[in-house]
Amino acid sequence: MNLPVDGVYWKPDIRTWPISRPFAMLDLLPQLTDAYRRMPRPNGDSNLQRVMAELERDGVSIVEGAASPDFVAAAISDLDLFAARIPELEGQQRTKPGSTGGTRDYPVHEYQQALNIYRSHDPLMISPAYARFLLLPTLSAVAAAYLGSGWLYQAMIATRTEPVAPTRRGFAQWHHDARGRKLNVFLLLSDVPEDGPATIVLAGSHRLMYSRARRVRNYFSDEEIGRLKQRFGLQERVCYGRAGSLVFFDSQALHRGHRSPHRRDAFQVNCMNRRSHLWPQQIPANTLAPLAERERQTLLQRANLAIAGEGSWRTSNGEQ
C-alpha cells in the first residue's frame, strides 16, 4: 500500500494492508486491539452520549462548566504558590516507564525558561485542588465509557503557561504520545480564546496506527501533516473554552500546543488501561484524609500513588 507517510497506517483501511508483511502486522496488533470500544454505549445521559460520539468520530470533545468558579479560584491559588516556590522545588528527578520500553528520568517540578512554562509532574503534592479535579464526576464518567471500568490515572500534570511569542518548539510540534489508546484530559483554569494557548488536535487522526519507528520518532513535520490531511481528509480542531471546561482527546491522535500572548493555567491527567505505563505520584496525607473513603480508594487503586507524610513542602512550612 502506498502510504502518505512511511510507517503510518489508517485503521479503516486494514483490509488493504499488505498481508505479505507479517512483522509489520504483528507490530501494529496491540494498537488494533486497543482501538476497540471497551464498554457499551452509555444510555440515559445525553451529554455523555455526545462526548462519546465526538471522541469516537473525531478523537476530541469539550465539556464546558465541569468545574465551579470557586474550584477554579482555589486551583489558581495553588498554582500561584507553586510558581513562587519553584526555585526550592526544582532539582528533584524521578524515573518513569518510557512509552516504547525502558525507563526515562524526568524533573518532578520544573520551570522551562526558554518556553516560559511552570510544570509539576507531581501536582497532588502542590495542589489540594488537584485531588478534586481527579474526582470530577464528568472526568470519571468519560474515562469509564471510553476506556472501560478498569481505567487508570497514567500521568498527572499541572502547568502554568506564561505568555510567549508563537513557537514550534517542544510540545508545540505535531506529535502523538506513543502509548496507544490513552485519554488525555485538561481542565482549563483560565479562559482560552480560539487564538490563545489552546491544544490543537488533528480530528480523526486517532484512527492512525504507527510503526515502531514512528512511535520512537513520534514528532511530525508540517509537510507530513499536510500529506495526512490531504489523504484522509483530516481537519484541525482548536480546543478553546472558558475556565472550568474539560478538554478530552485521544492521544493516539496527532496534536500540538499553540503559544500566544495569553497565560494558560491548566490541570492535566492522562488515563489509560495499562498499569505498567503509570508514572509514580505522591499525595500528602493531609490532602488524602479529608476525602470520603470511596474517593480515597479511587485515587489509591487507580494510580501509582504513595502517601507522603508531614514532610511535604506545603505542610512542612505550615501552608495548607
* DSSP per-residue string spanning 195-214: TSS-EEEEETGGGEEE-HHH
pLDDT of residue 23: 75
Q: What is the mean pLDDT of residues 18-40?
A: 76
Return the H-helix or E-strand segment holding 91.
none
Q: Is the pLDDT of residue 240 over 60?
A: yes
pLDDT reported for residue 41: 67
* pLDDT at residue number 11: 87
Residue 310 pLDDT grade (very low, low, confident, very high; cuts 50, 70, 90): low
Rounded CA-CA distance 79/213 in Å is 37
pLDDT of 39 > 70? The answer is no
Three cell numbers, residue 180:
496507544
With contact defined as beta carbons under 8 Å apart, do 281 and 304 qualify? yes
Q: Given pLDDT bands bounded at 50, 70 and 90, which one contains residue 13?
A: confident
Say if CB 126 and CB 78 are below 8 A apart. Answer: yes
Determine the average pLDDT of the residues in 238-264.
96
The predicted pLDDT at position 204 comes to 97
Q: What is the model's pLDDT at position 44?
A: 76
Q: Name the average pLDDT for the chain.
A: 91
pLDDT score at 239 = 97
Selection from 113, 57, 112, 192 nearest residue 121 by Cα: 112
pLDDT at position 95 over 80: yes
Lowest-pLDDT range of 159-173, 215-229, 297-311? 159-173
Is residue 83 within 8 A of residue 160, CB to CB? The reply is yes
**307, containing H or E segment:** strand 304-308
User: Has residue 158 got a pLDDT over 90?
Assistant: yes
- Judge contact between 55 and 204, C-beta under 8 A: no
Q: How far is CA 172 from CA 54, 78, 168, 260, in A?
A: 24, 25, 5, 11
Arithmetic mean of pLDDT, 58-65: 98
pLDDT at 183 (0 to 100): 98
pTM beyond 0.75, yes or no: yes
Asked whether the predicted pLDDT for residue 14 surpasses 90, the reply is no
Residue 317, pLDDT score: 36
When pLDDT is averaged across residues 280-299 and rounded to a whole number, the result is: 96
When pLDDT is cut at 50, 70 and 90, the band that residue 315 belongs to is very low
Look at residue 314 and tell me whether its pLDDT is greater than 60.
no
**Cell match 483490509: residue?**
15
Of residues 196 and 40, more confidently modeled: 196
Whether 198 shows a pLDDT value over 70: the answer reads: yes
- Given a cut of 70, whether residue 1 has pLDDT beyond it is no
Cβ-proximal residues to 184 (8 Å cutoff; 6+ apart), any chain: 177, 248, 249, 250, 251, 268, 269, 270, 271
Q: Is domain 8-317 classified as CATH 1.20.120.80?
A: no
Task: Confirm if 248 and 182 have CB atoms less than 8 A apart.
Answer: no
**pLDDT recorded at residue 132:** 98
Q: What is d(CA 129, CA 200) in angstroms, rounded to the nearest whole number?
A: 26
Residue bearing the bigger pLDDT, 92 or 14: 92
Backbone torsions φ then ψ of 298, nearest 5 degrees: -60, -50
How far is Cα 272 from Cα 19, in angstroms, rounded to an integer?
30
Q: Inform me whether the pLDDT recorded for 312 exceeds 70.
A: no
d(CA 218, CA 202): 14
3-state secondary structure at position 260: coil
Domain boundaries, the chain: 8-317
Residue 17 above 90 pLDDT? Answer: no
* Residue 123 pLDDT > 60: yes
- pLDDT, residue 209, reads 94
Exposed / middle / buried, residue 300 (Cβ in 10 Å: 0-12, 13-18, 19+): middle
Compute the CA torsion angle 173, 160, 145, 293 (nearest 10 deg): 150
Q: Which region holds residue 185: left if phi is over 0, alpha if psi is between -120 and 50, else beta?
A: beta
